[in-house]
Amino acid sequence: MKIYITEVGPRDGLQNYPKIIDTKKKVEFINLLSESNVDEIEVSSFVSPKLVPQLSDAEEVFKNIKRNKKIIYSALVPNEKGLERALSVNVDKISVFTSASETFNLKNINMSIEESLNKFKNIIKIAKESSKLTRAYISTAFWCPYEGKIDSMKVRDISLKLLNMGVDEISLGDTIGKASPDDVRELLELILKDIKRDNIVMHFHVTYGMASANVYIAYREFSIYKFDSSVGGIGGCPFAPNARGNIATEDLVYMLKRLGANVMVDIEKVIQAYSILEIESYSYISKLKL
Ligand code: HMG
Ligand code: MG
């Protein structure tokens, strides 16, 4: 099975960065990423520009990037207004986002979980009528910064509701990077009883240094083959205190290649794209000659 990688650097990577990156630089970054053989690029978010000013240029970015036909260009959409904005610039894939924690969901999108699911029904319906691909994130799928450990049954139930609405896939977010390999095993063992692995994406953050171990478990023990990552390991959620970046694309690709996985991403091209941002990376690979 070919590994499917969604590069979330332009969205998750930049949404919490203390400086606002110039639109032209973002476009250049995404155009370079488009040469690296990633399967999908999460370009931006159509959220409140007051809350996430780093991504307030989502329309401009979409209008100016050069699209590679082999790549899916996706974006986060929290509500109808976000959907309208996303459709106006022909986003390929609409990614709604909720959480398995009520407290986090309120802080993140100002809705209870139920309110968000009710809103998404219509969004998914319109997205599908507009021939768009769809994804739903479930944040804090393992641990919440406010509520602690999350019950896996809750994640399973929300996943099933979203899949019943017709979303193509669920991305399980370890928002604060606190999941251990045993947590990942427990959730996947449960969820894969009812949900096909083709519908599951893993989205790991690196805060506690366990993201690579978690990918290993998901890939080796459960044959999960869809992963989110951000080049340089940049990222973090503004509404999750102390969350660090995503697993670095270069680390993810390097590990999967060493495991013999069928992964087509060109690490050097990804690093080349990242280097134009001039943001410090925690990932060491970018400093090595491979
Ligand atoms: P709200 O205040 O409840 O919204 O925010 P509202 O409908 O009451 O509207 C308030 C104002 O916002 C109005 O403007 C609206 O027009 C405007 P005003 O009349 O005051 O001038 N507004 C919008 N503007 C532009 N685009 C929109 C939009 N919606 C309303 N779509 C809302 C609700 C969801 C908008 C807000 O809470 C929000 O934008 N939150 C941002 C959440 C976010 O981006 N979080 C980070 C991404 S999630 C993440 O990082 C986790 C993930 O990586 C997975 C993981 O790691 O777990 C995905
Ligand atoms: Mg994230």
Q: Judging by beta carbons within 10 Å of its beta carbon (0-12, 13-18, 19+), is residue 35 exposed, middle or buried?
A: middle
Ligand 1: centre distance to CA 190 (Å): 31
Ligand 1: centre distance to CA 82 (Å): 8
What pLDDT was estimated at residue 93? 98
- With 70 as the cut, is the pLDDT of residue 286 above it? no
Least confident of 7-11, 96-100, 217-221, 241-245: 241-245
Q: Mind listing the pLDDT tens digit for each residue in 126-170?
A: 999 999 999 999 999 999 999 999 999 999 999 999 999 999 999
**In whole angstroms, what is the distance from residue 26 CA to residue 61 CA?**
7
Q: What are phi and psi of 176, to 5 degrees?
A: -105, 10
Least confident of 150-159, 230-239, 251-260: 230-239
What pLDDT was estimated at residue 71? 98
**Ligand with smallest separation from the Cα of 123:** 1
What pLDDT was estimated at residue 83? 98
**Ligand with smallest separation from the Cα of 42:** 1
Nearest residue (CA) to ligand 1, atom 34:
109
Q: Mind listing the pLDDT tens digit for each residue in 110-124?
A: 999 999 999 999 999
Residue 237 annotated among the catalytic residues of the structure? yes
**Per-chain residues with Cβ under 5 A from ion ligand 2:** 12
Q: Mind listing the pLDDT tens digit for each residue in 37-54?
A: 999 999 999 999 999 999
Structure tokens at 166: 């017709």
Considering only residues 281 and 169, tell me which one the structure prediction assigns the higher pLDDT.
169
Domains of the chain: 4-289 (3.20.20.70)
Q: Mind listing the pLDDT tens digit for each residue in 53-82?
A: 999 999 999 999 999 999 999 999 999 999
- With 90 as the cut, is the pLDDT of residue 26 above it? yes
Catalytic residue among 41, 237, 240, 243: 237
What pLDDT was estimated at residue 288? 66
Q: Which residues pair with 177 in a beta bridge?
A: none
Which band of pLDDT confidence, cut at 50, 70 and 90, is reported for residue 289? Answer: low
Task: Answer for the pair 244, 206: CB distance below 8 angstroms, yes or no.
Answer: yes
94, 138, 288 from 46: Cα distances, Å: 10, 17, 36
How much is the average pLDDT of 1-18?
95
What pLDDT was estimated at residue 233? 94
User: Phi-psi category of 28—alpha, beta or left, where left has phi over 0 and alpha has psi -120 to 50?
Assistant: alpha
What pLDDT was estimated at residue 175? 97
What pLDDT was estimated at residue 278? 86
- With 90 as the cut, is the pLDDT of residue 242 above it? no
How much is the average pLDDT of 254-272?
96
Q: What are phi and psi of 51, to 5 degrees?
A: -80, -35
How much is the average pLDDT of 221-227?
98
Which residues does a 6 A CB cutoff place in the pocket of ligand 1? Answer: 12, 15, 45-49, 51-52, 76, 78-79, 81-82, 85, 97, 108-110, 137, 139, 173, 175, 203, 205, 237, 239
Angle formed at CA 243 by CA 235 and CA 192, multiple of 5 degrees: 90
For a pocket test of ligand 1, which of 42, 45, 48, 110 has the largest count of ligand atoms closer than 8 A to its C-beta?
48
